[in-house]
């Protein structure tokens, strides 16, 4: 039997993991509402996951630099599976919060997977191959909400008590994570050579300070933070928005979310692999920021389903361009021996945005109106665009077929 490419295996691992993530995201606000949560409480619930990612992603990234990507990914999958079961058995809001904190603690697999791809791909292919993670995200957001929507319909027919009811879909997420852990155990090989070599452990703040001293890398990381902040304002309130404006059920909202996943898969699984070799990272990044910001802003004006669909299309295409080109550029500028640590710090900055964003979005939604989280999120992404424009010519361009790296 022909040996599978390591990129195929890491893609499948991330994809299956993100199906579970895609199940939980639309479920959270509906289940929290059952336990009397307000919009601000739901924002805090969304932020709790990201808080733990902010605190621990660099930790997992540094461990993956020392001990290898594979053990960190395996441990993360196991921990996430246990957190999903806790979510399914929750009978009060505080238990949902505890489950999301645990999931965030074990959420170091994306930074380890990003470093894995950096290990096994040359610089000229790195940005488009990092798009595989985005494609896995998109596929997770297609299959996850659909599976979750079906299970949330089955659960109440069995019982209204945990782990059944609409929370039954979290059981499916937990089972998938444990199966994925077994899959990765047997098929995922280590990408980092000479694991276990004693390397000086650099603290997150030192890595961040070193990266912020690099003018191009600093602006890229700040832009990635602003992009995460923008998306968090949108994601945390979108399901409440469609529930309040369009009276959508969890199943309808889940299927609507799957459409966004289709567009992300198309962008990061196909389109980005055609566009980056033709135009390079820098043009794709600034175009994506402009489209993403516009799409988020338009969501605040969506009073009909066609406007909602158009806004989500523009948003998904834009975000699909931003993430791989930004992550690829950061990876290209980072030290080879600190790929895991740098990816971890970068993911923690995005997580910081996802801590502030849901709380801010919930407050804005509750006090200033349904549209304000989307207007605010769009403004943050456009701000990221303006931050990059002055240093546009210094942004990496390795992905362009005929380009010389511009840094």
The pLDDT of residue 307? 93
Number of other CB atoms surrounding residue 366 within 10 Å: 19
Show the beta-strand stretches assigned E in 48-162.
none
Question: What residues have CB less than 8 Å from 358, skipping those under 6 apart?
Answer: 42, 43, 44, 45, 46, 47, 50, 232, 233, 235, 236
Give the pLDDT score at 3. 54
Number of other residues whose CB lies within 10 A of the CB of residue 197 = 10
Report d(CA 159, CA 72) in Å as an integer: 37
Q: Among positive and negative, which fits the CA dihedral 233, 204, 223, 121? A: negative
Residue 163, preceding peptide bond in cis (omega within 30° of 0): yes
Each residue's pLDDT tens digit, 333-370: 877 666 666 777 777 787 788 888 888 998 899 899 99
Residue whose tokens read 């070799």: 277
Superfamily for the 6-188+201-394 domain: MFS general substrate transporter like domains (1.20.1250.20)
Residues contacting 304, CB < 8 A, separation 6+: none
Domain ranges of the chain: 6-188+201-394
**The pair of three-digit structure tokens given for residue 46, joined into one six-digit string:** 């969304």
Return d(Cα 219, Cα 217) in angstroms, integer.
Answer: 6
The answer, as to whether pTM is greater than 0.75, is no
In sequence order, what DSSP letters do the residues of 88-104 get, joined into one string? HT--SHHHHHHHHHHHH
**In terms of pLDDT, which residue wins out, 181 or 3?**
181
Residues 146-180: tens digit of each pLDDT: 888 788 888 888 888 888 888 889 999 999 999 99
């Amino acid at each position: 039997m022909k040996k599978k490419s390591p990129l195929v295996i890491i893609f499948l691992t991330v994809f299956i993991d993100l199906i579970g993530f895609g199940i939980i995201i639309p479920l959270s606000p509906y289940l929290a509402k059952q336990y009397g949560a307000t919009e601000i409480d739901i924002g805090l619930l969304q932020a709790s996951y990201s808080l733990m990612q902010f605190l621990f992603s660099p930790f997992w990234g540094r461990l993956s630099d020392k001990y290898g990507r594979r053990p960190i990914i395996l441990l993360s999958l196991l921990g996430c599976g246990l957190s999903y079961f806790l979510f399914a058995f929750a009978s009060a809001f505080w238990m949902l919060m505890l489950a999301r904190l645990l999931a965030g603690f074990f959420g170091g697999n994306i930074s380890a997977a990003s470093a894995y791809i950096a290990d096994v791909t040359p610089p000229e292919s790195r940005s488009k191959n990092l798009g595989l993670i985005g494609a896995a995200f998109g596929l997770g957001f297609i299959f996850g909400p659909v599976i979750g929507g079906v299970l949330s319909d089955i659960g109440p027919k069995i019982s209204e008590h945990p782990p059944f009811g609409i929370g039954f879909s979290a059981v499916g997420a937990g089972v998938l994570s444990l199966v994925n852990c077994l899959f990765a155990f047997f098929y995922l090989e280590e990408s980092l050579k000479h694991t276990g070599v004693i390397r000086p452990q650099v603290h997150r703040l030192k890595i961040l300070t070193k990266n912020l001293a690099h003018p191009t890398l600093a602006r890229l990381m700040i832009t990635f933070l602003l992009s995460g902040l923008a998306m968090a304002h949108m994601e945390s309130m979108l399901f409440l928005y469609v529930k309040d404006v369009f009276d959508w059920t969890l199943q309808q909202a889940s299927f609507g979310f799957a459409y966004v996943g289709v567009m992300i898969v198309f962008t990061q699984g196909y389109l980005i692999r055609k566009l980056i070799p033709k135009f390079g990272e820098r043009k794709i990044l600034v175009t994506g920021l402009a489209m993403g910001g516009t799409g988020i802003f338009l969501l605040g004006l969506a009073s009909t389903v066609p406007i909602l669909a158009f806004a989500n299309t523009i948003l998904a295409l834009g975000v699909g361009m931003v993430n791989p080109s930004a992550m690829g550029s950061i990876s290209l500028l980072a030290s080879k021996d600190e790929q895991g640590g740098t990816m971890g710090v970068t993911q923690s900055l995005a997580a910081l945005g996802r801590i502030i964003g849901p709380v801010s979005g919930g407050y804005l939604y509750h006090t200033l109106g349904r549209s304000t989280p989307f207007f605010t999120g769009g403004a943050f992404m456009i701000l990221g665009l303006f931050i990059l424009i002055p240093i546009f010519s210094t942004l990496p361009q390795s992905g362009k077929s005929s380009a010389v790296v511009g840094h």
